[in-house]
Amino acid sequence: MTNDTWGQVREELIKRVGQNNYTTWIEPLRLSHLKNGVASFEVPTTFFGDWVSRNFADHIRGQLAVAGSPVERVEFTVGAAPARAPAAKSGSRSAAKPARARAVGAEEVTGAQLEQRFTFDNFVVGKPNELAHAAARRVAEGGPVTFNPLFLYGGVGLGKTHLMHAIAHELKINRPDLHVLYLSAEQFMYRFVQALRDRQIMDFKELFRSVDVLMVDDVQFIAGKDSTQEEFFHTFNALVDQNKQIVISADRAPGEIKDLEDRIRSRLQCGLVVDLHPTDYELRLGILQAKLEHYSNQYRGLTMAPGVLEFLAHRITTNVRVLEGALMRLFAFASLVGREINLDLVMECLSDILRSSEKRLTIEEIQRKVAEHYNVRLSDMIGPKRLRTIARPRQVAMYLSKQMTSRSLPEIGRRFGGRDHTTIMHGVRKIEELMAADGQLADDVQLLKRLLQS
Ligand X SMILES: Nc1ncnc2c1ncn2[C@@H]1O[C@H](COP(=O)(O)OP(=O)(O)OP(=O)(O)O)[C@@H](O)[C@H]1O
Binding residues for ATP, by number, are 157, 159-161
Nearest CA-CA partner of 428 in 415, 444, 414, 409: 409
69 vs 122 by CB, closer to ligand X: 122
Cα–Cα dist 358/315, whole Å: 8
- Answer whether 218's CB lies under 8 Å from 111's CB: no
Instruction: Name the residue whose CB lies closest to ligand X.
Output: 159
In the bound state with ligand X, the residue whose beta carbon lies nearer, of 17 and 158, is 158
**CB of 31 or CB of 287, closer to ligand X:** 287
Cα angle at 170 between 168 and 173, to 5 degrees? 115
Alpha-carbon span 254 to 220, nearest angstrom: 9
Q: Are 357 and 315 in contact (CB under 8 A)?
A: yes
Residues 336, 329: Cα–Cα separation, whole Å: 11
3-state secondary structure of 40: strand
Q: Which is nearer to ligand X, 91 or 142 (CB)?
A: 91
Annotated binding site: 157, 159-161
d(Cα 117, Cα 289) in Å, to the nearest integer?
Answer: 16
245 Cβ partners below 8 Å, 6+ apart? 139, 145, 148, 149, 150, 212, 213, 214
The H-or-E segment that residue 298 falls in is helix 281-298
Q: How far apart are CA 381 and CA 451, in angstroms?
A: 18
Which positions lie near ligand X, rule CB under 6 A?
90-91, 118, 122-124, 129, 154, 156-162, 218, 251, 287, 320-321, 324
Q: Which is nearer to ligand X, 86 or 159 (CB)?
A: 159
149 upstream amide cis, omega within 30 of 0: yes
Please identify, using beta-carbon distances, which residue of 211 and 287 lies nearer to ligand X: 287
